[in-house]
């Protein structure tokens, strides 16, 4: 299967003969990209690719993590007003006017094939053994919403398809001013 998950390091490795894409879930529940490029052999831990450093002119993630600034990490799905000064992939306007959302890791699923995005146009597979899909489920407790990031890697093509969807499971509505499938 071209997607491996290492529980001890909370790392996902999507790979085939031509490329690798590596995602790590930080202890705070934040998914970050560690690598995207030429194929790498699978291993248990990729933490040497992380760089944490105190940066006096940056916004620290918390008082407990003065070495962690979100703007210096390759966030898988950055949110507006999160402490990351780059444009967020999503901007959610809540009823009270707040635009703050913090989606953290909840669970994941790895399965064969590529799910349809009906009614949207999308890439597809003829049979389930042509690709493998990772769904990362992230949760925001304040707005009671789930963000699902889906990654499909093809067995014999140097391609990763990605999409994002949000599920409002709370009683309050909100407005999605921006919702992108990814952010580079």
What are the residue ranges spanned by the domains of the chain? 3-179
Query: Quick one: pLDDT band at residue 87, thresholds 50, 70, 90?
Result: confident
Residue 113 neighbours by CB under 8 Å, 6+ apart: 125, 127, 128, 129, 130, 131, 132, 133
Q: Rg for the chain (alpha carbons), in Å?
A: 17
Say what the pLDDT of residue 85 is. 60
* 72-81, 96-105, 128-137, range with the lowest pLDDT: 72-81
pLDDT exceeds 60 at position 60: no
Asked whether 134 and 115 are in contact (CB, 8 A), the reply is no
Q: Which long-range contacts link 170-176 to residues 24+ away (Cβ below 8 Å)?
A: 170/143, 170/144, 170/145, 171/144, 172/94, 172/95, 172/143, 172/144, 173/95, 174/92, 174/93, 174/94, 174/95, 174/143, 174/145, 175/92, 175/93, 176/90, 176/91, 176/92, 176/93
Vertex 164 angle, CA 95 and 175, to 5°: 15
Please confirm whether the linkage preceding 119 is cis (ω < 30° from 0).
Answer: yes
| pTM reported for the whole predicted model | 0.88
Query: What's the whole-number average pLDDT of the chain?
Result: 85
The residue ranking higher by pLDDT, 131 or 60, is: 131
CA dist 143 and 172 (Å) reads: 8
CATH topology of domain 3-179: Beta-galactosidase; Chain A, domain 5 (2.70.98)
């Amino acid at each position: 299967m071209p997607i491996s998950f290492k529980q001890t390091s909370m790392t996902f490795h999507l790979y085939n003969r031509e490329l690798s894409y590596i995602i790590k879930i930080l202890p705070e529940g934040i998914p970050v990209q560690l690598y995207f490029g030429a194929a790498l052999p699978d291993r248990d831990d990729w933490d040497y690719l992380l760089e944490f450093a105190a940066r006096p002119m940056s916004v620290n993630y918390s008082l407990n993590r003065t070495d962690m600034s979100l703007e210096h990490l390759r966030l898988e799905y950055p949110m507006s007003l999160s402490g990351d000064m780059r444009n967020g992939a999503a901007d959610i306007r809540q009823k009270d006017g707040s635009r703050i959302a913090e989606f953290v890791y909840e669970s994941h699923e790895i399965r064969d094939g590529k799910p349809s995005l009906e009614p949207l146009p999308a890439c597809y597979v003829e049979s389930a053994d042509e690709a493998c899909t990772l769904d990362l489920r992230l949760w925001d407790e304040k707005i009671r919403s789930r963000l699902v990031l889906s990654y499909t890697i093809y067995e014999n093509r140097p391609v990763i398809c990605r999409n994002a969807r949000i599920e409002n499971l709370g009683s309050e509505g909100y407005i999605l001013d921006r919702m992108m499938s990814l952010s580079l």
